[in-house]
A and B are shown apart, each in its own frame.
Chain A
Amino acid sequence: MTSRIITYAEAIREAIGQAMESDPNVFMLGEDIGIYGGAFGVSGDLFHRFGPERIRDTPISELGIVGAAVGAALVGMKPIVEIQFSDFTAQAMDQIVNQAAKIHFMIGGQLSVPMVLRAPSGSGTGAAAQHSQSLEAWFAHIPGLKVVMPSNARDAKGLLLAAIADPNPVIVLEHKLLYKTSGEVPEEMYMTPIGVPDLVQEGTDLVIVATGVMVSRSIEAAHQLKEHGISASIIDVRTLSPLDMTLINQVVSATGRVLLVQEAPKHVGYMAEIAARIAEGPSWKQLKAPIKRLCGLEIPIPYAPQLEQAAVPQVADIVKHATQLVKEN
């Protein structure tokens, strides 16, 4: 495969474009995705390539948009919905949770809902409390939804193509701060399997398990930790539902220390599930220290940059907690 360096946003756009070229039933709908090119520039020139039917601009109508995607998916289309900010999935929750997630099961498997819902999530842009949340635990809690959180450009493309090919509803939570980051991405179509976490790097003293933008922060933290003589493994959970614990259990067993890092508030967050599964699973006997979580504060995301940064884990926080975990245990 030939690769080149492109951005996370470009990788998503490339995936959508390739999927639309190879399957006439794939189309995109969302607010300002046409001429405007999307609030975060993701759809970009797709409107000019595929036209207004397949890059379908919608009114500001999240419940209607997602409902229309569910209906179209039921009768053979493969809609990709863009919700402008993941916070606005709240407007569409009935169609996501009560309809899309349940229809296949509820009607005895007669039909399915091959819909993809993409939404930018997370903080760091100064957009404050209603435009900055990390809501992955909402979706991961619902049977019938698959949930993925790409942390880099390569997975952004591969996971999206896997989501489009999947006959079930898949929620793709992208991170706003990642759209302009770059990475090596194969030109061809490829799928990153849904259900398999990624071992980003191997180390011996602890494993950092992270999601979303916390993966790149953990990588940066690991560089600094190395200078202090601490060697960290990093696992990118990548696909939150379904979750396969094999890799996490292996690496927890090998290192004996685990730091779980998420941007969302700690209380009832996704990492609580990972912590519980480690505690219930085969690797608990190898633990040299209690499982440690580093999460966002239990507050709405604030506006001022210094407040916003204080609200969610930063590189220095990861370094500090990882160091403590290793030095004290």
Chain B
Amino acid sequence: MSSITPLIGPESGLISDSKPAALAALESLLSIRSFEEAVDALFARGLMHGTMHLSIGQEASATGVCAALTSTDYITSTHRGHGHCIAKGADITRMMAELLAKQTGYCRGRGGSMHIADAATGNLGANGIVAGGIPIAAGAALAQKMQGKKEVIVSFFGDGATNEGAFHEALNLSAIWDLPVVFVCEDNKYGMSNSTEKSMRVEKISERAAAYGIEGVTVDGNDVDAVFAATRTAVAKARTGGGPTLVEAETYRWKGHSKSDKNLYRSKEEIDEWKAKDPIERFQNLCLTKNIITQAEIDELTARVREVTRGAIKDAMAAPDSNPDELLSGVFKAVS
């Protein structure tokens, strides 16, 4: 069992104002980066099969958003979902086991990278279908409202997903029913090779909220504090019956879309420009400047996180392979 220290979202002020909150956020940022780099390396060495969508460069949005949620709140995630999963508190060893096709993986090897869910931490699942999770988030939010519960649902999706009908239908339903849901668009400027400039007329994706009569905000998605603060406001509104908000977090993916990407649609300069805005370095520097965390603490945390990733790979590799014998019995839940 290896999950990050639960993220702490201060009720007022920023994450970088509070030492425990900042340390937890940094652990989340570093854990996501470390996990993604490890997966990339395993893939390169031929030890992992299938395909992967890495979120390197986007760690601040997963971290900032999940810091604004309680452990019983829910998320729906995407094909680029490892970061969301880790930030919501999943067991990194079971994630790694899933990617390594092991019986102990979250999906018993049936789902892989694009389908990890973790019922225990409220992660209703990644999704291989662009925008597929957005209406599902609306429905989970409808259930909270009908059952008189206080839980909020965050739906993560990319910029590309906002051109799908599912996005528009889900926002409309959530708006008319005042559902406790926060729509978080991780705008990394591309849906595969298709840039936002080419694929939509609006300047900011958050403008699309106006079409549904809800609030839309755009934040610097590489700034943990900014993402957290915007989400905290949206979550508080949703929890108290104020309905949904569309939060757009502007960020960038450093790696290719998936394993088939040759980066033909963007320049090296553009990628380097965004690498210079590394959300992790930026958060570390901010915390150092504010004297919230020391360099020694950063070094210690970095080493510890790497150790956790190494341990997860080791434990996952030692686990039994996923078992074809239970395939047929896995399709339906048994009728009681």
Nearest CB in chain B: distance from A37 CB, A = 21
Asked if residues A109 and B330 are in contact (CB atoms below 8 Å), the reply is yes
Asked if residues B143 and A76 are in contact (CB atoms below 8 Å), the reply is yes
A133 within 8 A of B: no
Asked if residues B333 and A67 are in contact (CB atoms below 8 Å), the reply is no
Asked if residues A166 and B169 are in contact (CB atoms below 8 Å), the reply is no
Q: Which of B165, B332, B335 contacts A104 (CB 8 A)?
A: B332
Contacts of B138 in A (CB 8 A): 64, 67-68, 71
Interface-side segment among A39-47, A94-102, A218-226, A270-278: A94-102
Nearest CB in chain A: distance from B241 CB, A = 14
Known: A71-B139, A99-B132. A166 touches B335 (CB 8 A): yes
Nearest CB in chain B: distance from A315 CB, A = 37
Contacts of A326 in B (CB 8 A): none
Asked if residues B170 and A64 are in contact (CB atoms below 8 Å), the reply is yes
The A-contacting residues of B in range 112-148, CB under 8 angstroms, are: 115-119, 124-125, 127-129, 132, 134-144, 146-147
Nearest CB in chain A: distance from B1 CB, A = 16
A20 within 8 A of B: no
B35 within 8 A of A: no
Asked if residues A71 and B124 are in contact (CB atoms below 8 Å), the reply is yes
B313 within 8 A of A: no
The B-contacting residues of A in range 133-184, CB under 8 angstroms, are: 143-144, 146, 165-168
Asked if residues A107 and B115 are in contact (CB atoms below 8 Å), the reply is yes
Asked if residues B169 and A108 are in contact (CB atoms below 8 Å), the reply is no
A70 within 8 A of B: yes
Q: Tell me how many residues of B have a C-beta within 8 Å of chain A.
A: 47
Nearest CB in chain A: distance from B133 CB, A = 8
Asked if residues B146 and A94 are in contact (CB atoms below 8 Å), the reply is no
Query: In this complex, what residue of A is CB-closest to B106?
Result: A108
Contacts of B118 in A (CB 8 A): 110
Known: A59-B172, A104-B331. A71 touches B129 (CB 8 A): no
B234 within 8 A of A: no
Nearest CB in chain A: distance from B255 CB, A = 24
Which range holds the interface residue count of chain A? 35 or more
In angstroms, Cα B144 to Cα A144, docked, is 26
Nearest CB in chain B: distance from A107 CB, A = 4
Query: In this complex, what residue of B is CB-closest to A58?
Result: B173
Nearest CB in chain B: distance from A58 CB, A = 7
Query: In this complex, what residue of A is CB-closest to B171?
Result: A64
Contacts of A106 in B (CB 8 A): 107, 110-111, 115, 125
Asked if residues B166 and A94 are in contact (CB atoms below 8 Å), the reply is yes
The B-contacting residues of A in range 91-139, CB under 8 angstroms, are: 94-95, 98-99, 103-112
Q: How many A-B residue pairs have CB under 8 A?
A: 148
Contacts of B331 in A (CB 8 A): 104-105, 143-144
Contacts of B105 in A (CB 8 A): 108
In angstroms, Cα B333 to Cα A168, docked, is 6
Asked if residues A27 and B169 are in contact (CB atoms below 8 Å), the reply is no
Contacts of A66 in B (CB 8 A): 135
Query: In this complex, what residue of A is CB-closest to B153?
Result: A71
Asked if residues B106 and A67 are in contact (CB atoms below 8 Å), the reply is no
Q: Which of B107, B110, B142 contacts A72 (CB 8 A)?
A: B142
B190 within 8 A of A: no
The A-contacting residues of B in range 150-174, CB under 8 angstroms, are: 153, 165-166, 169-170, 172-173
The B-contacting residues of A in range 51-84, CB under 8 angstroms, are: 53-54, 58-59, 61, 63-77, 79
Query: In this complex, what residue of B is CB-closest to A113?
Result: B333
In angstroms, Cα B141 to Cα A53, docked, is 14
In angstroms, Cα B105 to Cα A317, docked, is 55
Asked if residues A75 and B140 are in contact (CB atoms below 8 Å), the reply is yes
Contacts of A144 in B (CB 8 A): 331-332
Contacts of A194 in B (CB 8 A): 335
Contacts of B228 in A (CB 8 A): none
In angstroms, Cα B78 to Cα A148, docked, is 32
Known: A59-B176, A63-B165, A111-B124. A70 touches B170 (CB 8 A): no
Asked if residues A64 and B330 are in contact (CB atoms below 8 Å), the reply is no
Give the interface centre of A58, A68, A94 by most chain B CB atoms within 10 Å: A68
Asked if residues B106 and A95 are in contact (CB atoms below 8 Å), the reply is no
Asked if residues B169 and A107 are in contact (CB atoms below 8 Å), the reply is no
Nearest CB in chain A: distance from B209 CB, A = 16
Asked if residues A71 and B108 are in contact (CB atoms below 8 Å), the reply is no
Asked if residues B107 and A67 are in contact (CB atoms below 8 Å), the reply is no
Q: Which of A27, A59, A79, A110 contacts B117 (CB 8 A)?
A: A110
Asked if residues A67 and B166 are in contact (CB atoms below 8 Å), the reply is yes
B240 within 8 A of A: no
Known: A71-B141, A99-B129. A63 touches B147 (CB 8 A): no
User: What residues make up the interface of B, taking CB atoms closer than 8 Å to A?
Assistant: 74, 76, 105-108, 110-111, 115-119, 124-125, 127-129, 132, 134-144, 146-147, 153, 165-166, 169-170, 172-173, 176, 330-336
Name 19 interchain pairs, CB-CB below 8 A, sorted by A. Answer: A64-B138, A67-B135, A67-B136, A68-B139, A71-B76, A74-B124, A74-B136, A75-B74, A75-B140, A75-B144, A94-B132, A95-B132, A99-B132, A106-B111, A106-B125, A107-B110, A109-B108, A109-B330, A111-B124
User: What residues make up the interface of A, taking CB atoms closer than 8 Å to B?
Assistant: 25, 27, 53-54, 58-59, 61, 63-77, 79, 94-95, 98-99, 103-112, 143-144, 146, 165-168, 194
Q: Which 9 A-B pairs have the closest CB atoms?
A: A67-B135, A71-B139, A64-B169, A68-B139, A71-B136, A108-B107, A71-B140, A107-B117, A108-B108
